Every structure is written in structure tokens, then in C-alpha cells.
Amino acid sequence: MNVKELEARIKNLEDQVKILQDIEEIKKLQRAYGYYLEHGMADDLLDLFSDSPEATLLIALGEFRGKESMNRFFSKMDRSNPEFLHQVMQLSGIVDVAPDGKTAQGRWYGFGPNALIKEGGVTEGWMNGVYENDYVKEDGKWKIMKIHWCIIFNAPFKEGWVDPSRLVEIRKEDLSGLGKSYIPDGPSENTAYPSGFICPFHFENPVSGRNTIPER
């Protein structure tokens, strides 16, 4: 292998590594979006989006364009109430970076439970859908240009998402083998809903660099 071929090979490997680095940064960006959405952390959510006036949040409720518009939606999430929960897990991500390394697209499954505050109480349900998102690199950092949430179902917890007339009974599994006693080495934290507990983040906000250990 001559010097010219070796230089070309090194350049190709460097390009591949750069793409892999971009993909990992975008994956972290999108996963952070899911964790912040769970608790309605509006400031951190907005930090993840591009500063462009064309940055878009497209959801079942409608389209919100630009950070000021998106803030109207995110700020309505009452994270001060420990009964609020909007968990949408970011799953099975596929990310494709454009050849110029300046833009990218990603597809993700979103699934999780929600408990939304309504007048006089709380409504609970399951949510499932697909994200088709656009990303852009601004000042050396990947940001979200567009969140496009394609909802598949949003169903009450007790009723499910299938037409009751189509449901059939199945034989219940024998769970008697699970009746064992497990003794822990110490007490656990009270982290279960609706304690209001937010599990501390080990990472800083991928865009703003802010420490995202929220305080109520």
C-alpha cells in the first residue's frame, strides 16, 4: 500500500468515526428529550431545540413552531404536581446523518404511561407512537429541528386500546412459583408515583450544559 492509498484509507476511517460520533450524540439528545418530557422540564426541553424560528413540535394537538410557541405547550405541564407523569420511552432509534454532516434524521418508537392533571383529579393512560425527527448541527452541537410525533394509540389504562368486542379470554399463567420471600439488605427510597421523585441525571443537558438535577 503506497502513501496515497494509506492517506485515503485513514481519511475514510476518520469519516466513519465522525459519523458514529454524530449518531451517538443524536441518540443522547433524543433520549434526554424523553427523560425531560417525563417530568415536564420545560427549560431543558427547549434547550434541546434549534434556535431557528422553523424549529417545530408536531404532535396530535397540533403544530408549534419556534421556541416561544413550543414553550406554550411545555409550560402547561404541571411538574409542580407530583401526580403529573408523561413518560414516553425513546426506543429502537435509527439515525441517519446527511453526507455533509450538518443535518440528520431519526426514527424512534415512543411508549409509556401518563398521568395528566385534570380539574378535580388525574387521568391515566398508555401512549404509543412513532417519532420521525429532524436534527441540525448548530455551533458544533446537535439540536432538534423537528419533533414529529405520530401517535398510534392513547388508551385508558383499564380499558386498553382494542375494541372490547374483539377481545377473547386467555388462560392465566400459573404464578404460584413467584411467591418467594426476598429479603433486601436495606430500605429503599420512596421513588414510586406519585412521590414526585425524579431520578438524578448523570449527564448535563446535551445542548446547554446545565446540570439537570431538578429541584421542586
pLDDT at site 213: 67
For the cut 60, the answer to whether the pLDDT of residue 172 exceeds it is: no
For the cut 60, the answer to whether the pLDDT of residue 176 exceeds it is: no
pLDDT above 90 covers a percentage of the chain that reads 57
Q: Mean pLDDT, to the nearest integer, of 14-22?
A: 94
CA pair distance 125, 120, nearest whole angstrom: 17
Domains of the chain with bracketed CATH: 10-158 (3.10.450.50)
Q: Mean pLDDT, to the nearest integer, of 99-123?
A: 93
DSSP labels, 12-79:
HHHHHHHHHHHHHHHHHHHHHHHHHHHTT-HHHHHHTB-SSTT-EEEETTEEEESHHHHHHHHTTS-T
Instruction: Give pLDDT tens digits for 42-83.
Output: 999 999 999 999 999 999 889 999 999 999 999 988 778 889
Q: How confident is the model at residue 204 (pLDDT cuts 50, 70, 90)?
A: confident
- Model-level pTM? 0.85
